């Protein structure tokens, strides 16, 4: 049996759901951070945290799926350094999708505000209230997010390059509603 040329429907669905959540959580976090203290700010910060928790859980689910399902191969024409770079980038993206929600959770705990997922499930505080630690985790959260922004940019640029310049099937492997090539 030849390897599948496309990701499984589940992998595709989880990937695009993650993309959607990242593109919601990132600007929400930046915007809410800039807002003056108001009910809107408190709401948006909570939504941001809920999205972050969801992304963390989604990433765990994606890793579990990935571990049990072989992804379709990259085009054989692709140079080895590019294949290695693609794998490295994917690993980093997964790492950030775990580390960023964790750093946000740590920041929230250190600020003295527990995370209450969906307003219903209170997560345990990872650290006690501590102003210096809160500032540290805030910095870490920001740096990791700008790292994510850069890596997502690279990820998207590479996908588009494969699709429009190399004209290979790399992006189509992950596109929904596309017939098997």
Partner 1 sequence: MNPDWPLAKKSMNFRVGAALAAIADYRGQGRSYNLGLPLLPLLLASLAGNAAAVEFNQVQTDKSTLSFGYKQMGVPSDGKFRQFAAAIAFDPAKPAAATTQLEIDLASIDTGSKEGNDEVAGKQWFNVKSFPTAKFVSSSVKPLGGNRYEVAGKLTLKGKTQAVSAPFTVKQEGAVAVFDGGFTLKRLDYAIGEGPWADVGTVANEVQITFHVVAGAAPAKK
Interface residues with partner 1 (CB under 8 A) are: 37-40, 42-43, 45-46, 111-116, 119-120, 122, 129
- How far is the C-alpha of 14 from the C-alpha of 57, rounded, in Å? 11
Least CB distance to partner 1 at residue 38 (A): 6
**Least separation in angstroms between CB 59 and partner 1:** 24
Q: How far is the CB of 84 from partner 1 (least distance, A)?
A: 44
By C-beta, is 70 or 122 nearer to partner 1? 122
Nearer to partner 1, 91 or 135 (CB): 135
Closer of 3 and 39 to partner 1 (Cβ): 39
Minimum CB distance to partner 1 smaller for 25 or for 115:
115
> Which of 1, 17, 80 has its CA nearest to residue 9?
17
Query: What is residue 124's three-state secondary structure?
Result: coil
By C-beta, is 7 or 137 nearer to partner 1? 137
Q: From 44, 52, 43, 47, select the one nearest 96 (Cα to Cα).
A: 52
How far is residue 129's CA from residue 172's CA, in Å, rounded to a whole number? 47
Which residue blocks in 69-181 are alpha helix, DSSP H? Answer: 80-111, 131-160
Q: How far apart are CA 167 and CA 170, in angstroms?
A: 9
Give the largest Cα separation in the chain, rounded.
59
Smallest distance from the beta carbon of 139 to partner 1, in angstroms? 17
Nearer CB in complex with partner 1: 84/129: 129
Q: What is the nearest approach in angstroms of partner 1 to the Cβ of residue 64?
A: 29
The alpha carbon dihedral of 161, 166, 170, 172 has a sign of positive
CA dist., res. 171 & res. 175, Å (int): 6
Work out how close the CB of 137 gets to partner 1 at its nearest, in angstroms, rounded to a whole number: 15
């Amino acid at each position: 049996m030849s390897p599948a040329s496309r990701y499984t429907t589940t992998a595709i669905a989880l990937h695009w759901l993650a993309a959607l959540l990242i593109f919601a959580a990132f600007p929400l976090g930046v915007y809410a951070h800039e807002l003056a203290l108001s009910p809107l700010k408190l709401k948006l910060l909570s939504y941001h945290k809920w999205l972050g928790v969801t992304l963390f859980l989604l990433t765990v689910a994606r890793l579990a799926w990935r571990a049990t399902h072989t992804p379709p191969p990259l085009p054989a024409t692709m140079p080895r350094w590019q294949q290695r770079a693609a794998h490295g980038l994917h690993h980093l993206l997964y790492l950030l999708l775990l580390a960023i929600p964790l750093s946000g959770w740590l920041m929230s705990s250190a600020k003295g505000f527990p995370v209450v997922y969906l307003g219903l499930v209170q997560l345990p505080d990872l650290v006690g209230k501590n102003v210096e630690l809160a500032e540290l985790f805030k910095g870490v959260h920001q740096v990791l997010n700008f790292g994510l922004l850069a890596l997502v940019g690279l990820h998207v640029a590479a996908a588009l390059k494969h699709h429009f310049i190399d004209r290979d099937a790399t992006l189509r492997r992950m596109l929904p509603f596309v017939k098997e090539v």
